[in-house]
Amino acid sequence: MSRLMSVVGQPLVASRELTAVSADGSRLHVEVYGPEGAPALVLAHGWTCSTLFWSAQIRELAGSGAGGYRVVVYDQRGHGRSPAVGRDGYSTDALADDLEAVLAAALAPGERAVVAGHSMGGMTIMAAAGRPGFREHAAAVLLCSTGSSRLVAESLVLPMRAGRLRTRITRAVLGARAPLGPVTPLSKKILKYGTMGPGASPERVAECARIVHACPRAARVAWSHVLGELDLGAGVRELTVPTAFIAGSADRLTPPVHAREIVAALPHSLGLTELTGVGHMTPVEAPEAVTAKLRELVREYVAVPAVAGQEEKEQVV
């Protein structure tokens, strides 16, 4: 039975659910929304999140009719409905393997799509940039609130002067093994401070809190160690498809310094959109901006036969 998405307005039902099998045999839960044959987007969520993180984008982009797109979302390994893996199964290579598996399972051979990633999802794209499966399917990319290296050293979660002490304490906080527990007013306040802008609405803070608190502790801790040692500079240079970047000016987890460095190093940069006052959770905090950029990329870089045919007909008339 298809899964209901918890979104504002009418619930959406996945048109189909798939299981992608990665290179090491890990199984990944995949959901596809929207009409078959429509232009496709593949969305990769970040650390401690799940497919639910993209609810606003699914609602706006996967509508029925000629204007609807096909939206593919999946749970990163150990998150959501994708099972946990062994200790050796958490790495940037595994992220790249998983994305290749999802693209192969959800798209037809040679089919091109816009691929977007938030935070660890963006790191997934950078890790996969040189892979044949990625290059076969990626027409354009959107990176949201992400970085390629020095994540712990550049983090602004702790209000301290940059240096070894801040880096050491930040690493300990992000990799803490303590359970997050239930969502409470205090936990929402902490989450908002660390991951969202000061103007984020209570409803959007609560939405993020429900998603993050649902992440299994083992996966949260395992991925924190991977992110703490991240170095994907080579992947940025291999990301040759047209690539846009959205970042929040108030992002404490991956401050805009990361966005500027990545955009400067991209072989085919479409520029940086910096959202004033927005924090790390851009697809939830500023869904209209993220959705608009995704729509723009699909229209520009993914073939839309039905629309093109209609335009031709209109010109003839």
pLDDT along the chain (317 residues), means of 10: 44 85 98 94 97 96 77 98 94 98 97 98 98 98 97 87 85 80 94 96 96 95 94 97 98 97 98 98 98 97 57 37
Do 84 and 56 meet the contact criterion of CB atoms below 8 Å apart?
no
Do 284 and 50 meet the contact criterion of CB atoms below 8 Å apart?
no
The predicted pLDDT at position 179 comes to: 77
Question: Residue 7 corresponds to which amino acid?
Answer: V
The percent helix, strand, coil of the chain (3-state, each to 5) is 45, 15, 40
Count of other CB atoms within 10 angstroms of residue 111 = 16
Count of other CB atoms within 10 angstroms of residue 217 = 12
Helix, strand, or coil (residue 21):
strand
Q: Which residues are bridge partners to 246 per DSSP?
A: 144, 273
Q: Is the pTM of this model over 0.85?
A: yes
Do 166 and 159 meet the contact criterion of CB atoms below 8 Å apart?
no
Contacts of 136 (CB under 8 A, 6+ apart): 103, 109, 110
The predicted pLDDT at position 81 comes to: 97
Q: CA–CA separation, 251 vs 277, rounded Å?
A: 8
| DSSP of 112-164 | -EEEEEETHHHHHHHHHTT-HHHHHHEEEEEEES--SB-HHHH--SS-S-SSH
Distance between terminal CA atoms of the chain? Answer: 45
The predicted pLDDT at position 304 comes to: 61
The predicted pLDDT at position 121 comes to: 98
The predicted pLDDT at position 309 comes to: 38
